[in-house]
Structure 1
Amino acid sequence: MKHEFRTMVKLLSIFGVLLFFLACGDNADPAKQFSIQLEEKPLQQNQQVGVSIKNRKNLEISNIHYFVDGKELPVSDGKITLDLPTLGNKVLVAQFDLDGQQLEIEEKLRLLAPNAPSVYTYDIVNTYPHDTKAYTQGLEFHDGVLYEGTGKRGESTIRKVNFETGEVLQQIELDNSLFGEGITVMNGKLYQLTWQSGLGFVYNLETFNKIKNFTYGESREGWGLCNDGEKIFKSDGTEKIWFLDPETLEEQGHIETATNKSIFNKANELEYVDGKIYANVYQRESMMIIDATSGAIEGVINFGGLKSQVKKGPDWDETNSVLNGVAYHPERKTLFVTGKNWDKLFEVKIYPKE
């Protein structure tokens, strides 16, 4: 009996110590007693949503403030307005006072576009020849001349092309170990990405002489490039489109692409036109129209039927010879689109589908 009593006392002592340490843990981090409660999900840009702080011990708190991306979201009638400039994965931060101590807690959220994307279709204006050996990864007009970047290891190039005839006017080849990706032209320079090497290049536009190499920062891979005359936009196979400084090529932030229903991660080749980014959807016969400030996917262009007009040559790959390559001609105000190993370059006009 004495032995059983001693055992019980020992167990109670251990249990008491555990309770003590647990209590100390709560006191050490009182923020664990609280969590942010949002009235509804999914969440959309400019939406008003009810917000509160769940308090497990009914402790008295005061001076509550909410922030996303460093911007305070004022509370009115128990609601905050998600009037944030960009979409995607966010963190809602709540700051409040407890017994004279300021605490901070967080809640992850996904901010989506306020409206569904419009659907566009197209008319073919003209059709031009395109080199079937060109595994097109980048396409851009500059001063009426078409520049093209091609991919595949051992076949990657940058080219200056007469778009009306398909004649390659000038070309350089990449090292056989590299897989060329998107290109863009800005301030007398041509910028080019490679896929998984984490390496990009800057060339003199006239001579194609290499000026320098650059490496990626946080972005995963090299996919598409475009620019707005001040900064370069870069896709990397995720939902993020990065901003690059054209001089240092350092990443200076990003947007995330989203519809009103989900975050989307298939932006490939890019083209910038009047505040919008036109982006090929990877391995699909469609293109997104993305707001370059917020990341909202405002439109989707259905290019179904275009591929059926392409003649399959000896380099055709049924899986990979897909729509890829978009360039805007500012004087003609038309888009030029093609695909990997396609024999045609299509000049098209797009319009909303009724």
Structure 2
Amino acid sequence: MFVLAFALLAEPAPPPIERCGYRIVETFPHDATSFTQGLFWDEGHLYEATGHYGRSRVARLDLETGKALAQSKLPADQFGEGITRWGDQIIGVTWQGGVGNRWSIKDLKLLETFQYEGEGWGVTMVEGSLVLSDGTPELRFFDPATMAEQRRVTVRFAGRPIAMLNELETIDGQVWANVWMTDFIVRIDPATGNVVSLIDLSTLKADAGVSGTDSVLNGIAWDAEGKRLFVTGKYWPTLYEIALADCR
């Protein structure tokens, strides 16, 4: 009994989790045919990756119209997933093929492909490492130049592993992740894997006027210079600029 009690006391308690709502700042058009898989902001434009075999693409979008200014289609046997910027490249992953792609961010021309193990869901950059979600509770860290795996961290919510982490974005050193098939975004400490904040967007899908099973929240982009946070979903006709609210 004493040994058990000592062990319990020795285990660190899960960190407190902040919970936030949101308010809509502004809305923008979004292509309702886009099965949004990845999203990021860079130098005045949104970049979006979409999924489905035969319909996957990477595109540079005009914020005001939602129209593609440039795009690159993936081969028909690739199911596109997350994308992120690394230097002058866009790095993207695919769902189950173990194939990744590198495009020039200047003109979206394909530079090369690479291989990795496991599924690809979301990607983002954290302090020089490419971070990959793969549907499990783990985030995997890679050298973006060689795709050599560096480390893994298990994402935990109140001490329990949380899976289905989808699209990723890095904001102020934290990894933000859509939790697939939910209306929640979690903010993750990349050093420990602990979820430090939960963002509830449960009424945003109704505001977008979508109801299909696949029409889930997915897509986070951060304009670091303008301090703007954008979110959208699969097959949503609207892209939202939101601000966090009622955090407690």
TM-score by length of 2: 0.94
What is the aligned partner in structure 2 of residue 200 from structure 1? 100
* Equivalent of residue 145 in structure 1, options 45, 53, 73: 45
What is the aligned partner in structure 1 of residue 30 from structure 2? 130
- In the TM superposition, residue 239 of structure 1 has moved relative to its aligned partner by 0.5
What is the aligned partner in structure 2 of residue 259 from structure 1? 157
| C-alpha spacing 1:229/1:189, structure 2 compared with 1 (3 Å) | farther
Give 5+ residue unaligned stretches, structure 2: none
For residues 334 and 178 of structure 1, the distance between their equivalents in structure 2, rounded to whole angstroms, comes to 31
1:39 partnered with 2:13: no
Please list the CA deviations of residues 161-195 of structure 1 after superposition, one character each: whole Å capped at 9, or x if unmatched. 01122121001111111110000011010001100
For residues 291 and 244 of structure 1, the distance between their equivalents in structure 2, rounded to whole angstroms, comes to 17
What is the aligned partner in structure 2 of residue 299 from structure 1? 197
| C-alpha spacing 1:259/1:311, structure 2 compared with 1 (3 Å) | closer
| C-alpha spacing 1:38/1:243, structure 2 compared with 1 (3 Å) | farther
Count of aligned pairs: 247
For residues 115 and 263 of structure 1, the distance between their equivalents in structure 2, rounded to whole angstroms, comes to 14
What is the aligned partner in structure 2 of residue 269 from structure 1? 167
Letter in 2 for 1:330: A
What is the aligned partner in structure 1 of residue 247 from structure 2? 353
| C-alpha spacing 1:169/1:229, structure 2 compared with 1 (3 Å) | farther
What is the aligned partner in structure 2 of residue 50 from structure 1? 7
- In the TM superposition, residue 309 of structure 1 has moved relative to its aligned partner by 1.4
Kept in 1, the 8 Å contact 2:14–2:159? The answer is no
Identical columns (%): 35
What is the aligned partner in structure 2 of residue 165 from structure 1? 65
Bigger mean CA deviation after superposition, 267-276 or 206-215: 206-215
What is the aligned partner in structure 2 of residue 310 from structure 1? 208
For residues 344 and 186 of structure 1, the distance between their equivalents in structure 2, rounded to whole angstroms, comes to 27
* Equivalent of residue 190 in structure 1, options 90, 113, 138: 90
Please list the CA deviations of residues 237-259 of structure 1 after superposition, one character each: whole Å capped at 9, or x if unmatched. 00000101010012111111002
* Equivalent of residue 128 in structure 2, options 217, 226, 230: 230
- In the TM superposition, residue 203 of structure 1 has moved relative to its aligned partner by 1.0
The secondary structure found in structure 2 opposite 1:39 is: helix
| C-alpha spacing 1:262/1:209, structure 2 compared with 1 (3 Å) | same
* Equivalent of residue 324 in structure 1, options 212, 218, 227: 218
The secondary structure found in structure 2 opposite 1:248 is: coil
Please say which structure displays the higher CA radius of gyration: 1
For residues 81 and 216 of structure 2, the distance between their equivalents in structure 1, rounded to whole angstroms, comes to 15
Please list the CA deviations of residues 109-136 of structure 1 after superposition, one character each: whole Å capped at 9, or x if unmatched. xxxx622321110011000000011100
Please list the CA deviations of residues 33-52 of structure 1 after superposition, one character each: whole Å capped at 9, or x if unmatched. xxxx9625xxxxxxxx439x
Greater RCO (Cα-Cα under 8 Å, separation 6 or more): 2
Structure 1 segments, 4+ long, off by >4 Å, are none
The secondary structure found in structure 2 opposite 1:304 is: coil
For residues 38 and 120 of structure 1, the distance between their equivalents in structure 2, rounded to whole angstroms, comes to 39
What is the aligned partner in structure 2 of residue 44 from structure 1? none
What is the aligned partner in structure 1 of residue 184 from structure 2? 286
For residues 309 and 171 of structure 1, the distance between their equivalents in structure 2, rounded to whole angstroms, comes to 28
Please list the CA deviations of residues 241-291 of structure 1 after superposition, one character each: whole Å capped at 9, or x if unmatched. 010101001211111100224111121100001121010011101100100
- CA RMSD of the aligned region, Å? 1.8
Please list the CA deviations of residues 185-208 of structure 1 after superposition, one character each: whole Å capped at 9, or x if unmatched. 110100011001111111111122
- In the TM superposition, residue 228 of structure 1 has moved relative to its aligned partner by 2.4
For residues 243 and 225 of structure 1, the distance between their equivalents in structure 2, rounded to whole angstroms, comes to 10
What is the aligned partner in structure 1 of residue 76 from structure 2? 176
Kept in 2, the 8 Å contact 1:115–1:259? The answer is no
- In the TM superposition, residue 229 of structure 1 has moved relative to its aligned partner by 4.6
Give 5+ residue unaligned stretches, structure 1: 1-36, 41-48, 52-78, 84-112
